[in-house]
Structure 1
Amino acid sequence: MTVKRSFYKDVLFGVAIGDALGVPVEFKSRESIAQKPVTDMIGFGTYDLPPGTWSDDSSLTFCLADVLADGYDLQKIANSFANWLYDEQWTARGEVFDVGIATRAAIERVLHKVRPDLAGDFDESSNGNGSLMRILPLLFYIKDKPVKERFAIAKEVSAITHGHVRSVIACFYYLEFARKLLTNKNLVSVYHEVNTEVISFLKGTTIIPDEIVLFNRLLKGDIYELNVSEMQSSGYVLHTLEAAVWCLLTTASYSEAVLKAVNLGLDTDTTAAVTGGLAGLLYGYESIPEHWMLMLARKKDIDTLAQRLANKYERD
């Protein structure tokens, strides 16, 4: 008997496990981690929290998924982010311990009744990975829509916290990659198809060419041929996206991909969360080591959320 794949569990657990693996060593340099590489789920470290504790990356991913399980509503998504920050909704252990500056500022604008799609900063200097890290559940709402609509919706959901076109392109690329993984598990094929289609779409928009060129290492190169020394893992959105795709393309299992992401250092939780979302879709949540799953905070709640998404999007 074949067990039916749950892409909803793939995404939610894929993100959360990667996130939790990275939390204990967040901000540590690659060189520092290399002295004692992360090979398993550990705890404490940077935030002195138990193993299996996930951060804002997963919290905001779950907030988005929670709203999407009832339908798409941009204001409710923005409000759910505020409920996380101020009321500890969808925190791993009842406290918010990690929040980006741009994300906090945007949520405060939401509370001051700024329109959600205008709440994020549109300045070029505000291109952290705060919208990329939480965007993946949007896949289930947009996957069957025309490409222009997929881009437009990704844009407004990103803009709740990050409105600059660079962050929007990163979110769009990531979602397009994930969308391909729903039906095609040939990773190199997916990578080249996504690049061709994304380039074609972006050229037909009014986005200035200088912004598109910034994505050339992904779009026009073979990023999997780059050496680890050429990959960066800061909180900059483009670094995170490149590192995630690189980790996926240069490994052969979920655990290998997310551990490779963590061991890049610096923004370890987000790099691994973004990698983990794609790796979850590629390999399936069943491929995640069972002892990692057993340590994960609020596993039952995440399971229930995945089932709500399934009930909504498999019915629709």
Structure 2
Amino acid sequence: MTIDQVKGALYGVAIGDALGVPVEFNQRAYLDQNPVVDFIGYKSHNQPPGTFSDDASLTFCLAESLCYGFDLIDMADRFVRWQSAGYWAAYGEVFDIGMTTYAAISRLKRGVQPQLAGDFDEDANGNGSLMRIMPLVFYTKDLPLGIRYEIVKDVSSITHGHIRSVISCFYYLELALHLLNGKSKEEAYKITATTVKEVLDQQKIIERELKIFDPLLETDISLRTRDKISSSGYVIDSLMASVWCFMTTNNYQEATLKSVNLGHDTDTTGAITGGLAGLYYGLHDIPEKWRRELARTKDIDELGLRLFNMRQ
């Protein structure tokens, strides 16, 4: 694990998020004619260029909590502070929050235990836990496979408790782990399928849920054509779109722009893709202009250093 990888992951999430914020909800056909190629401002959320949203803010809340050790209550408290007071928001104000995350934070405020606060219903499988989960890989990287799964399950369940969201987060972090350990994209993809299937077999996950992940576990998703990739706010769409964008590109800029220009939930697809690409290619591969123009760069730099030096 290097500081270039840690900062690359944090900046990667935030820049992918910021690239997508102005065009969130835009259709793919519109972006085909008007593609995002750089930071732009205002539009969908009326925010200045370089503004990240809930995706990066909650990622930073999780990262900062991990700097002090693993504590679900502390993580939950930081999520509440973000929603209530703009903690880790780009400019101190929350302008975007998913319904499932909002409901979970409302439960946290009422004193519900963090691992029980997330919605466990099948129709509550938005991408709100996947979008913020990346920093956890730096904590779990040296832990046994089964323990990694249990930790991911608890952290996802702060906002999203259904098994589909949990598996999505687990798959994403297993892929990130193998990239962190120096595997090529192709090697990491193959190893991830093996380790994830091993854990899901141990957990006796019902077959119906397992089949949903077949495009990642049983096939090569990079062979899919763009018209077969969805980019909605559904966690499965977000996971598959992000892995597809990462696997079919060759650098951070190409990966994130490809993801944002899929349309629909642009900020989150950008954030999830950007986390993988930033981790894999490193901070040095992210365009300097984007790093310079992103909100709160000094704070992100300092957080990255603390995360790199965290105690487990």
TM range (shorter): over 0.9
Q: Does 1:228 align with 2:230?
A: no
Which SS does the other structure have where 2:41 is aligned? coil
Match of 2:243 in 1: 245
TM-score by length of 1: 0.97
2:10 counterpart of 1:12:
yes
- Aligned partner of 1:264 in structure 2 is 262
Map of 2:141 onto structure 1: 143
What is the alpha-carbon root mean square deviation over aligned residues?
Answer: 0.9
Distance 2:84 2:266 in 1: 25
Query: 1:110 aligns to what?
Result: 108
Quick check: 1:24–1:43 contact (8 Å CA) kept in 2? Answer: yes
The answer on whether the counterparts of 1:185 and 1:282 sit within 8 Å (CA) in structure 2 is no
Q: CA deviation at 1:5?
A: 4.4
- The CA distance in 1 between the partners of 2:107 and 2:238, in whole Å, is 26
Structure 1 Cα separation of the partners of residues 106 and 180 of structure 2: 36
Do the aligned partners of residues 86 and 245 (structure 1) sit closer, same or farther apart at CA in structure 2, a change above 3 Å counting?
same
Contact 1:55 1:98 (8 Å CA) reproduced: yes
SS of the residue corresponding to residue 6 of structure 1 reads helix
Residue 288 of structure 2 is matched in structure 1 by 290
Q: Deviations over 1:30-87 (max 9, x none)?
A: 0111111111121111011111000000000000011101111001101100000001
The higher relative CO (CA closer than 8 Å, separation ≥ 6) is in 2
Letter in 1 for 2:160: H
Residue 82 of structure 1, aligned match among 80, 83, 103: 80
Gaps of 5+ in 2: none
Per the alignment, residue 25 of structure 2 pairs with: 27
- Residue number in structure 2 paired with 1:212: 210
Deviation at 1:206, TM superposition (A): 2.2
Work out the CA distance in 1 between the residues paired with 2:12 and 2:239.
Answer: 16
The answer for the alignment partner of 2:124 in structure 1 is 126
Aligned partner of 1:162 among 139, 160, 163: 160
Aligned to 1:299: 297
Q: 1:223-271: per-residue Cα shift (whole Å, max 9, x none)? A: 0000000000000000000001000011011000000000000000000
Aligned partner of 1:39: which letter?
V
3-state SS of 2:39 partner: coil
Q: How does 1:189-204 map to 2 (within 5 A)?
A: 189-204=187-202
Count of residue pairs the alignment pairs up: 311
Structure 1 CA distance for aligned equivalents of residues 71 and 90 of structure 2: 24
Cα deviations by residue, 1:99-156 (Å, 9 ceiling, x for unpaired): 0000000001001000100000000000000000001101111111111100000000
- Provide runs of 4+ in structure 1 moved above 2 Å: 4-7
